[in-house]
Amino acid sequence: MDKFPTPNEIASRAHDLFVAGGRRVTKVFEYWRQAEQERLDLAARRTVSSTAEQRSARHRPGARREWSN
C-alpha cells in the first residue's frame, strides 16, 4: 500500500466535498486543499499505526530478537 494518497484519491474526495458544498465553483481550490489535507492526515495515521504495530510485535514474548555488538 502506498503511504501517500494518489491524485485520483484526492480528486475523488474533492469532488465529494464539491457536491456536498452545493457545487460552488468559487471554492474548488478550497475543496482540493481540504481533500489533500484529509488524505495526507489519513496516510500519516496509517503509517504511525503500522509502525506502532511493528514495534509492538517485536516486543511480544517469543518474538525473535537480533542483537548487535
Give the residue among 14, 42, 19, 44 at the shortest CA–CA distance from 30.
14
Which pLDDT does position 32 carry in this prediction? 99
- Residue 10's φ and ψ, nearest 5 degrees, are -65, -45
Q: What is the pLDDT of residue 67?
A: 58
In a domain, 63, yes or no: no
In a domain, 47, yes or no: yes
* 69 vs 46: which has the higher pLDDT: 46
Number of separate domains in the chain: 1
Residue 1 lies in a domain: no
CA separation for the pair 35, 52 (Å, rounded)? 26
Q: Name the grid cell of 9.
A: 484519491
Task: Classify residue 28: in a domain, yes or no.
Answer: yes
- Cβ-count burial of 65 within 10 angstroms (0-12 exposed, 13-18 middle, 19+ buried)? exposed
More confident: 48 or 12: 12
pTM of the model: 0.69
pLDDT tens, residue by residue, 30-51: 999 999 999 999 999 988 887 7
Number of helices (H) and strands (E), helices first, in the chain? 2, 0
pLDDT of residue 55: 73
